[in-house]
Chains A and B, each alone.
Chain A
């Protein structure tokens, strides 16, 4: 399967936009991906090994939450997309910045 890496996470995947990995399910594919690129692991999974709530995974255009989640079967030629939330609008400042601390975080 080809896994599309979103911009914010490319820095943990040698700056690649997409990677070919093997695996018969999403779980296997993501496991192989994080074996190749260990820095991605904490961005995709919680300490308990669950996929993080702000990271959505799609097989082609379907959300795996509405399929069989990480056990969703994947065929050769399927496009798998990791789609994390992004917040930028004017992007003068931090994506996770507080409603209160505009001035401080602007320096980030």
Chain B
């Protein structure tokens, strides 16, 4: 059902292309035959964000003939620290349009296919059908499992990269004899248990490092050269600049590529990953206060204790003069708080402080409220001069 290396026919090169790719053509590992394979290849990049930027830029420069891009998002300022395909002037534009402009400028021979849509169980197989290799540059578990299962079902290799803070993972999944993502991780973590990237942040160069590794693997698969990362998980630690390699095996019990698969068509990946409804998993059942109410109470000099549960480096960006106890330290520093006072807990957006309020209520604090929307809401609605992050 799956193929190890896609069988791509060669396509002739023009004189202009021969000049452009001359540094490839003089390498025996690529040569005319390899360059023609690159030109005939059709690669789909899911996402044009942190991983998708270097991935699509290098594949385009290298001479991949057809590149499909799937994205529905719009460029914002916080993307620019790492999503190098987009520039400041692109803020507010569709990422697809911004990316397509850059790629065409690099290589006018590129045939771009834009999919202005959110990848879903309904459209994935249809989109994947026309491509040889799928490169997964997405940023959430439901889409990761969707991409993997679709690749296994339709028999296309899944070139995988993933990042968190300063740590990355890369591998090649869903080839004929190799393992798939589900052989590695049969189940996703429940929502909320693993901290999100927005909570954790990400080193801007890291998607560059990992995305270039994905591009390398895509090119190797097309050329049929070298040793692809099949059956190997590469762990990248950018801070220690250490690379480790772990063995991956195709699991006979794998629900999608095992000997008796239970997943034979695409499923509801939100449900599978425990993500339900439209709302983020924000603690909504804790007593809350709005930024307008807080402003009013502060103006009327009501005795309030503002508890900031963010990290010290976040406090340095902006603060409400609150008393700082990072959420993780709250259990051992709870004695620093006075349960007789009115406490308003806040963080960046209200998620961590929601957990803090739940914890404090369980610890016997009765007059504690969560600031809805966190300091971001304060910056939006009360103090427009406050920086947002």
Instruction: Output the nearest chain B residue to A98 by Cβ-Cβ distance.
Output: B275
Choose among B52, B233, B270, B351 the residue that contacts A98 (Cβ–Cβ < 8 A). B270
Interface of A is mostly: loop
Docked-complex contact B280 and A102, CB < 8 angstroms: no
Docked-complex contact B189 and A81, CB < 8 angstroms: no
Q: Mark B166-196, 1 if CB is under 8 A from A, else 0.
A: 1101000000000000001111111111111
B269 interfacial by beta-carbon distance below 8 Å: yes
Docked-complex contact B279 and A91, CB < 8 angstroms: no
Residues of A near any B CB (own CB < 8 A)? 6-8, 11-12, 17, 39, 42-43, 52-54, 56, 58, 61-63, 65-66, 81, 83-102, 104-108
Instruction: Output the nearest chain A residue to B194 by Cβ-Cβ distance.
Output: A8
Choose among A8, A17, A107 the residue that contacts B376 (Cβ–Cβ < 8 A). A107
Report if A8-B195 is in contact (Cβ < 8 Å); known contacts: A63-B247, A96-B140, A97-B140: yes
Docked-complex contact B138 and A89, CB < 8 angstroms: yes
Report if A107-B349 is in contact (Cβ < 8 Å); known contacts: A88-B202, A95-B164: yes
Q: Report the Cα distance A93→B279, complex, angstroms.
A: 14
Docked-complex contact A88 and B162, CB < 8 angstroms: yes
Residues of B near any A CB (own CB < 8 A)? 47, 49-52, 73, 76, 78-79, 82-83, 118-120, 136-144, 146, 161-167, 169, 184-202, 207, 233, 235, 240, 244-249, 251, 269-270, 273-281, 328, 349, 351, 373, 376
Docked-complex contact A98 and B163, CB < 8 angstroms: no
Docked-complex contact A85 and B188, CB < 8 angstroms: yes
Chain B nearest CB: distance from A85 CB in Å? 4
Q: Report the Cα distance A53→B161, complex, angstroms.
A: 20
16 additional A-B residue pairs with CB within 8 Å, beyond A90-B139, A106-B198: A8-B200, A17-B240, A39-B328, A53-B185, A89-B47, A89-B50, A90-B50, A92-B49, A92-B79, A93-B139, A95-B164, A96-B191, A98-B140, A98-B278, A101-B280, A104-B278
A sample of 14 inter-chain contacts (CB < 8 A) reads: A8-B164, A52-B189, A53-B185, A56-B184, A56-B185, A63-B246, A88-B162, A89-B162, A89-B163, A89-B207, A92-B79, A95-B194, A96-B141, A96-B192
Provide the residues of chain B in CB contact with A88, threshold 8 Å.
50, 139, 162-164, 197, 202
Docked-complex contact A89 and B169, CB < 8 angstroms: no
Report if A89-B136 is in contact (Cβ < 8 Å); known contacts: A83-B235, A99-B120, A108-B199: yes
